[in-house]
Amino acid sequence: MNDVSTPEPRLAGKRIVITGGARGIGGAIASRFVAEGARVSILDRLAAEGAAHAASLGADFQEVDLLDPLDAERATQAAVDGLGGVDVLVNSAGILRFTPLLDLSVAEWNETFSINTRAMLTTMQVCARSMIAASAGGKMINLASMAAKKGGAGEGAYPASKAAVVGLTRQAALEWGVHGITANSLCPGYILTEMGAATRTQEKIDTWSAYSPLGRLGEPSDVASVALFLASSDSDYLTGQAINVTGGMVMH
């Protein structure tokens, strides 16, 4: 009789902070990470959904307004303190507004960058300070978008903000690598989440699916699987990268 042992969870004991973890890609990442043995703290503005999802996973939840730098710092620090430190930060929170450039207001530009990019800097600073103080390294995973590499019709400030995420992540990799901290960004393509659902028709889904050599759109679980690789020790020598999760729609 063969002795088949159960594989060790890939994130056993890891302390992980996830912004935008109430639903969508961030929610799927939270679920996958908990299933792999991680202790997770979810940050989100969606209090009811975030608290319910966290409770279902046995995770912590912190309500946060990422538009407010002080509240973003407070909530991130509370999450780190609640976990007793942090090994991995996943920045998944973001907004998408469809506004042509000629109609784009400064207020909308600033809001998009505040949530999609500036808030990442705040959460990264809080977590980096904790990681550096602990002298144990760490991992940062920032959600960008394939829009960072190819833009998107009518998406206004969104592609620019996601390109900035890629640049910010590379800078973190350069500055914090000496402390054993890796930083990578993920660039998902068309993923079937709540974001953009209001304007998504079956005709659009069929059209977008044809862009992929695989003939389908992505699911949140597709992104969560790549995030798991980045959070695990398998990616220890990978940093400063912007990894496509697009089903081949973008190959650079």
CA distance 181 to 11: 16
- Tell me, what amino acid is at 91? N
250 Cβ contact list (under 8 Å, min separation 6) = 146, 149, 150, 187, 189, 244
Known catalytic membership, residue 237: no
CA distance 128 to 163: 21
Catalytic residue among 158, 190, 211, 237: 158
CA distance 2 to 208: 47
Q: Are the CB atoms for 100 and 159 separated by under 8 Å?
A: no
CA distance 152 to 124: 27
Angle 48-99-21 from CA coordinates, rounded to 5°: 25
CA distance 172 to 142: 11
HEC readout, 41-74: EEEECCHHHHHHHHHHHCCEEEECCCCCHHHHHH
The residues annotated with a catalytic role in the active site are: 158
